[in-house]
């Protein structure tokens, strides 16, 4: 009897709001029949918003594990190892998809996954794992802006097996050429494709068989990012600050969210990177038109990035794991380095409504 092949790992990187989760969910909806996938997600904040979206996307999805309040490539390294092993033991998937946070260093993560593969192979335990590919998602509308302020965004574009241009439909041909040239300056040789409204074919991520090696650039990244170099390590982690925002349930009709919904259109897209919330409200009160069969309160996931937002209905089963009956909404607001205290004070001024709880 031949030993089972190691489980392939596909890693998704990209800055906050680039569309990693949208791309991931689109791939899950296109899973080949009888092909079982598990997802490991790393996100800022302490609310597992994306898990609910991924969990209901495809019946072939074996399971979702979400790691919060830290980065896979440094603080959560040990937890990532245990999470991968637990996913294998619990689900025995055909592939594991790993969605990193917006600040993950792909080279460091690549080395850690290779080390894990060697360790499991040496132990001869279980199926083992292998890194199949790293995919970088780029927001064509906003890349120039965030690449100028985030060293990590540029590194992610440099160290990858495939670059996916997302949201290119919303820019002019000239604007896209500027983004293409900027990315090409960072990385000429890596294949590049455009998504189709946030979706790519499943075949695009299969069998990439990563050839990314421990180059001099990668070695320098690892040295700069090591725990021995505290200054670089802290700089990396502090690119983003998060605020957890909770809305108490004051009544039964969702009026307590009216100011928050107004703020969605006013929030500064050049200062706030991302907002992710789970809310429970009547569809009649949503600031966008959405199809519904009943006007009674329903759970929705709110995703806001660079001034755009959408509401996605989720099941009560998934919602009950994320929000308790005392709240009508809870989620995370992500801002830049050093902006956390300022935004906490601003959001506590009443702009979101009364009795809102904000934790930095």
Query: Which sequence spans correspond to the domains of the chain?
Result: 7-235, 240-359
Please answer whether residues 277 and 331 qualify as being in contact, where contact means their C-beta atoms are separated by less than 8 angstroms: yes
pLDDT of residue 82: 83
Neighbours of 14 (CB within 10 A): 29
Residue pair 355/248 in contact (Cβ under 8 Å)? The answer is: yes
What pLDDT sits at residue 219?
43
Which pLDDT score is estimated for 85? Answer: 85
Measured CA to CA, the distance from residue 170 to residue 162 in angstroms comes to 22
What pLDDT shows up at residue 226? 45
> Angle at CA 55, nearest 5°, toward 54 and 61?
95
CA atoms within 13 A on the CB side of 240: 27
Phi, psi of 298, rounded to the nearest 5 degrees: -135, 155
177 DSSP 8-state letter: H
> For position 173, what pLDDT does the model report?
95
- The pLDDT, as a whole number, for residue 229 is 40
Q: According to the model, what pLDDT value does residue 46 have? A: 60
Phi then psi for residue 64, to 5 deg, are -125, 130
Strands (E), 188-239: 192-194
Residue 116 has a pLDDT of 85
The segments of the chain whose pLDDT lies below 70 read 1-3, 44-59, 68-78, 125-126, 213-238, 250-255
What DSSP line would sit under 35-69, residue for residue? Answer: --EEEEEEESSS--HHHHHHHTS-TTEEEEEEEES
Task: Give per-residue pLDDT as tens, 24-69.
Answer: 888 988 888 889 999 988 876 666 666 666 666 666 778 787 776 6
Greatest Cα pair distance in the chain: 67
Q: Are 55 and 318 in contact (CB under 8 A)?
A: yes
Contact between 129 and 96 under an 8 Å Cβ cutoff? The reply is yes
Burial (0-12, 13-18, 19+ Cβ within 10 Å), 283: buried
Q: What CATH code is assigned to 7-235?
A: 3.40.50.300
E strand segments, 180-239: 192-194
**What percent of the chain is predicted at pLDDT more than 90?**
34
- CA 359 to CA 246: how far, in whole Å? 9
Which pLDDT value is given to residue 186? 93
């Amino acid at each position: 009897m031949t030993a089972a092949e190691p489980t392939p790992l596909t890693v998704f990187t990209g800055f906050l709001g680039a569309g990693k989760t949208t791309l991931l969910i689109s791939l899950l909806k296109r899973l080949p029949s009888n092909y079982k996938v598990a997802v490991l997600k790393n996100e800022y904040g302490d609310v597992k918003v994306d898990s609910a979206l991924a969990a209901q996307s495809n019946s072939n999805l074996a399971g979702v594990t979400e790691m919060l309040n830290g980065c896979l490539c440094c603080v959560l390294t040990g937890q990532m190892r245990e999470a991968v092993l637990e996913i294998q033991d619990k689900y025995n998937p055909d592939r594991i998809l790993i969605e990193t946070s917006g600040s993950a260093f792909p080279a460091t993560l690549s080395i850690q996954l290779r080390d894990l593969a060697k360790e499991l192979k040496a132990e001869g335990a279980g199926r083992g794992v292998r890194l199949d590919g790293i995919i970088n998602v780029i927001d064509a509308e906003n890349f120039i802006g965030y690449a100028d302020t985030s060293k990590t965004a540029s590194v992610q574009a440099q160290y990858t097996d495939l670059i996916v241009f997302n949201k290119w439909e919303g820019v002019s041909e000239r604007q896209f050429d500027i983004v293409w040239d900027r990315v090409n300056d960072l990385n000429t040789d890596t294949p590049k494709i455009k998504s189709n409204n946030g979706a790519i074919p499943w075949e695009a991520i299969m069998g990439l068989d990563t050839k990314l090696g421990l180059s001099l650039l990668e070695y320098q990244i690892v040295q700069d990012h090591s725990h021995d170099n505290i200054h670089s390590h802290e700089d990396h982690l502090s690119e983003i600050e998060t605020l957890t925002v909770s809305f108490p349930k004051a009544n039964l009709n969702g009026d307590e969210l009216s100011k928050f919904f107004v703020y969605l259109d006013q929030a500064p897209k050049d200062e706030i990177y991302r907002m992710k919330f789970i809310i429970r409200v009547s569809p009649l009160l949503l600031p966008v038109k959405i199809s519904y069969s009943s006007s009674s309160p329903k759970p929705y996931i709110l995703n806001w990035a660079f001034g755009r937002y959408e509401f996605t209905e989720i099941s009560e089963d998934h919602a009950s794991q994320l929000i308790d009956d005392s709240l009508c909404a809870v989620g995370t607001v992500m801002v830049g380095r050093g902006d956390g205290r300022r935004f906490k004070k601003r959001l506590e001024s009443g702009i979101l409504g009364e009795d809102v709880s904000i934790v930095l």
